[in-house]
Amino acid sequence: MKFWKLVIFLLVICLINFGLLFFLDTESDDVKKETTKKEAAKEQTKVSLVMVGDALLHKSVYNDAYKNGVYDFKPQIELIKPIIQKYDLAFYNQETVLGGTDIGLSDYPAFNSPQEFGDAMIDAGFNIINLATNHTLDRGEQAVINEVNYFKDKDVLTAGSYDSKESASKIIIKEKNGIKYALLSYTYGTNGIRIPEGKEYLVNLYSDEQAKRDIEAVRDKVDLLLVSMHWGVEYQQEPNEEQKREAEYLSSLGADIIIGTHPHIIQPVTYINDTLVIYSLGNFISAQSTNNDYNTMVELMTSVDVIKTTKNNKSEIKLENLNNELLYNYYKRGSKWTDFKVIPFSMMSTEYNSEYKRLYEKYGAVVKKYNENIPLKLPA
């Protein structure tokens, strides 16, 4: 009898253990299924963005592009094009108005530039363009209208200058890879040129009140909000107090990235809360002679990934993989300034500037001045 009791006891123990194992395995499957459901509900999309500075088209620049009766700027940016085309979105600042040859090209102090430059930049992959600068009104209303009309049939996003009050009142929203984005653009002024009465739409002048109205009108409609600021003091390596105040203010309103232009030289890159602030990208292409140790010829290209995470019907944007690279605005001097070319420092050699490694250290330190963790690509 004792033997059968032992057998029954052992069978009961086995059945209990089997039941526990089955329960745990079932529970594990349920946990796995629940985890899978949660992961399925969490989606991520990404757009990559790259930004460069001022297209300041002096006569030497567009004369160098004029060959066989046409303006062709593509050779000037041929080293940049393969880089730009890797990105979904690419920003640049059209410093001088593209009024075109019909009204006559002109140099400093009242610029008007060939529209063929826009062709080359769009061909290279640039698709977000600031039109609000201190030179927007250099050649009057007609140049502005010509520029706006030129961009109208192009697959690009422009902001800051318009041909009507109605156009200026509509903030354009675009979408890439499921991420909605918009650009707001402002300039501090227009070199003392008065905006024609009733035609304030020709160029966006910055004010805290206008920026607040614009951001509140679009912030909840987009994932990514870019604000282009034409601000600061020319040739100052340090942003002034007004730039810093405006950056803090725009950050508080919800700007994701503030893109600074106008000083023609590099200023620091940093974060204010979650807002990426590029105080000045410097020039992109120009014939500005060296103001001080090549400071108008060494410029910045900044890139970042915009990651959108959606979970439970709520979306969040994060900026990741920030990177920066110095560019060099090369040209030959002589009776004519020729052979203009924008060169990434990763492709630099002593042929272009024998001091480029020293310049990398000097201007790289400017980029990192407010945040030593800001990345900067190494030179060749």
Write out pLDDT tens, residues 46-61.
Answer: 999 999 999 999 999 9
**How far is residue 341's CA from residue 75's CA, in Å, rounded to a whole number?**
7
DSSP three-state, residue 189: coil
Number of H helices, E strands in the chain: 9, 16
Q: Is residue 6 part of a domain?
A: no
**How far is residue 111's CA from residue 8's CA, in Å, rounded to a whole number?**
101
Q: Is residue 38 part of a domain?
A: no
Q: Is residue 375 part of a domain?
A: no
Where does the pLDDT of residue 28 fall: very low under 50, low under 70, confident under 90, or very high at 90 and above? low
Structure confidence by residue, pLDDT tens digits, 266-294: 999 999 999 999 999 999 999 998 779 99
Q: Is residue 10 part of a domain?
A: no
Structure confidence by residue, pLDDT tens digits, 322-366: 999 999 999 998 889 999 999 999 999 999 999 999 999 999 999
Structure confidence by residue, pLDDT tens digits, 165-215: 999 999 999 999 999 999 999 999 999 999 999 999 999 999 999 999 999
Where does the pLDDT of residue 11 fall: very low under 50, low under 70, confident under 90, or very high at 90 and above? low
> What are the start-end ranges of the H helices in the chain?
2-41, 59-65, 81-84, 116-124, 140-152, 165-169, 208-218, 241-253, 356-367
Q: Is residue 15 part of a domain?
A: no
**How far is residue 363's CA from residue 58's CA, in Å, rounded to a whole number?**
24
Q: Is residue 12 part of a domain?
A: no
Percent of the chain with pLDDT over 90: 86
Q: Tell me the pLDDT of the chain averaged across its residues.
A: 92
Identify the CATH number of the domain in which residue 71 sits: 3.60.21.10
The count of other CB atoms within 10 Å of the CB of residue 35 is 10
**How far is residue 128's CA from residue 121's CA, in Å, rounded to a whole number?**
10
Higher pLDDT, 3 or 368: 368
**How far is residue 41's CA from residue 304's CA, in Å, rounded to a whole number?**
26
Q: Is residue 120 part of a domain?
A: yes
Count of domains in the chain? Answer: 1
For 73, the domain range is 45-367
pLDDT, residue 141, reads 98
CA-only gyration radius of the chain, Å:
27
E-strand ranges in 188-337 read: 224-230, 257-261, 266-272, 275-281, 283-285, 298-311, 314-332
Q: Is residue 138 part of a domain?
A: yes
